[in-house]
Chain A
Amino acid sequence: MSGIESENVDGAVLIRLSGEVDLSWSQQVRHAVLAALESNPVVGVELSQVSYIDSSGIAALVEGFQTARARGSRFALVSVSDAVRAVLELARLDRVFLIVADRAAMLG
């Protein structure tokens, strides 16, 4: 049950991912993240239901992070699952991203 859902929360966008993020749909994740950043100052990616993520999925998040930084927007990973955290740690990116516990914290 892999999927993307977007939700507007108080002027911010929360992109909710679920299932296994791999090469087969990581491009869709990338597009969703970049599109959200296009028109919103705050974008969060909710990852609590993600049971697997590969480097192409991580790359989509990295691109979101870089785009947000260039624009001065806020980009956060929200309630990161253990599986995602393990890969972020393995890639030594766990201290690069803004990782928050819930959507309230995402708003800053």
Chain B
Amino acid sequence: MSLARRAARPPAAAQHADPARTLAFLADLSQAFAVSLDLRKTLPEALNRVADFMQAEGASLFLLEPATRVLECRICVGPVDMTGVRLAIGQGVVGLAVADNATQLVADAANDPRVWRAGDEGSGFVTKSLLCAPLATAAGPIGAIELVNRRDGQPFGAEDAEMLRLIAAPTALAINNARMANDLVEQQRMKREFDLARKLQKSLLPKRRRGLFPVLGVNLPAHEISGDFYDYFELADGRIGFVIGDISGKGLDAALLMIRAASLLRWAGKDGIAPGAWLARANDELCETTHDGRFVCALVGYCDRDANAVQIAGAGFPPVLTYKRGAFSEYASGGPPLGIMAGIAYEQHEIALNGGALYAFSDGATDVRNADGSRLGSDGVRTLIARHATQAPDARLRGLLSDLKHLKLVDDTTLLLIEKPRAHGAQVLLEHHMPARAEHLREMRNALRKLLDQLGIEPALRDRLVLAVDEACTNIIRHAYGAEGHGGIGLRVSRADDVLSFELTDDAPCVDPTRMKPKPLGECRAGGLGIALIDTVMDTWHVEPASSKCGNRLILRKRIEDKGFS
């Protein structure tokens, strides 16, 4: 009886009724998907194998477009080409499989209301039986796989349905993996483009001028790329032109417009024309090409090298603040932003700064949020400026930025400071003299530790600095003076901006600097560790002959970050 039944079974069912064959087929299918992430290659081949294994006349694969939520037939094997057919979710057997996330079995297609019949029309093909399984993922179905007509003429059965469900699982997984891989590639491409835009932007910011210069700028992007920019340049007549700007909008196209606007504004100001005319020229030029609703807020101007007289003109830029002897003045922009309407005249201001400071800041500064969520506003910025007013320009801008950073940045923030430059020479903080003998090292360390504490340098860094200077003195005692030598060591600590210098002077015979080489740290040996420690702790160090005919000067330098000083 059982033999007779088995013999009577149609060959299609026999194919996958054998568990060993089924497992082998599923393994082959998974492996075929694993070989390549290129679905255009793997999917048609896989679908052919599925149709053969299931002994179906035709097979098709529908994928759900994430954006439109429409199912589209991407691949099809068999007598009727369904490729490109589009179905709504819920439409036809395929649409139902996705809508219900459940396998659909149609034994008698001619009399089943679920069947969407347009496929048969005009093709001469008769759909007799259908089987469709959703491509299920954790995030819901992403499509469906459909079989048409068993080759033996029998309707699809429950066993076939179970088999197709098993096949759909690795297929869904493969498609999902390939999509995620594609997303990753796309993200990487976008990151590369952003990196490029950021590099371009950075390259446009002017190099900081050495020596005395009246213009100082700083830019703090809220995101990876900035819509803000600043620029300054010297004219042939000795004046200095400056620009600060802010592009409306965010993202890559704002960044690209910024690059264009920055170049354009520099070009328009190179001739030294009056600031109002400068803006008008840049505006006309921008209006010819900028039509996508974006615009540029900018402030341009000139000052002399002592920043006594300043001329400015603004285009939709926040008011400029001047701070002179404790009092603020405000100068509003003389016209609308650039790039909106051609032919506009911009009003300009002549400001006698005479020792005061002029601050121009993009609206990022006033848009900064206070702890309670309110905007910092112009008054808030005034408070910050007054708080840092006594500091040197560099330190002041850093202080302002650090205050703004503590508040929440919602926009790019750019500051431009114009002020008569003053010589901020190195300030001597400590002079200490000691006999070049080991028993005096401790006094030196105590004096140095006390000074560093007064400067508010955090203890870990303080201890490292003390160690490095102590090692330098030890070296002078042991190697420069040697066993018989006697003399003194002078230590002078000075500070220029954020750099601490430790200068050690001796009267010993000149040392050969090439012999002072740091040994690699971590090597377990007794000698040569001192210089390696100095080298690790300090940013730079070097030895030079002292001014007299003998003697050496060893100079150690360390830049102290903002947080290093209290």
Contact = CB atoms under 8 A, between A and B. Distances in A.
B524 A93 contact: yes
A25 B442 CA distance: 12
A79 B441 CA distance: 26
B442 A63 contact: no
A101 interface: no
Contacts of A58: 529
Contact of B445 (A20, A25, A59, A91): A20
A59 B463 contact: no
Interface in A13-47: 20, 22-25
Interface residues of A, number: 24
A89 to B, nearest CB: 10
Contact of A59 (B439, B466, B470, B526): B526
B185 interface: no
A6 interface: no
Interface string B505-547: 0000000000000000110111101101100110000000000
Interface string B407-451: 000000000000000000000000000000111011001000000
Contacts of B470: 22, 54
A24 B521 contact: no
Given A22-B441, A24-B439, A86 B463 contact: yes
Interface residues of B, number: 28
Contacts of B176: none
A55 B537 contact: no
A23 B441 contact: yes
Contacts of B527: 59
A87 B521 CA distance: 11
Given A54-B471, A91-B529, A91-B532, A65 B524 contact: yes
Contacts of B460: 86
Nearest to A59: B526
Contact of B464 (A22, A24, A90): A90
A62 B537 contact: no
A8 interface: no
Nearest to B468: A90
Interface of A: 20, 22-25, 52, 54-56, 58-60, 62-63, 65-66, 83, 86-87, 90-93, 96
Interface of B: 437-439, 441-442, 445, 460, 463-464, 466-467, 470-471, 474, 477-478, 521-522, 524-527, 529-530, 532-533, 536-537
Given A55-B471, A55-B474, A93-B521, 12 more contacts: A22-B470, A23-B478, A52-B467, A54-B471, A54-B530, A59-B529, A62-B526, A65-B524, A66-B525, A86-B460, A87-B467, A90-B464
Which 9 pairs of residues, A with B, have the shortest CB-CB distance? A92-B522, A24-B438, A59-B526, A23-B438, A55-B529, A55-B530, A92-B521, A24-B439, A23-B474
10 contacts: A22-B442, A22-B470, A23-B474, A24-B438, A52-B445, A59-B527, A63-B526, A90-B467, A91-B533, A92-B522
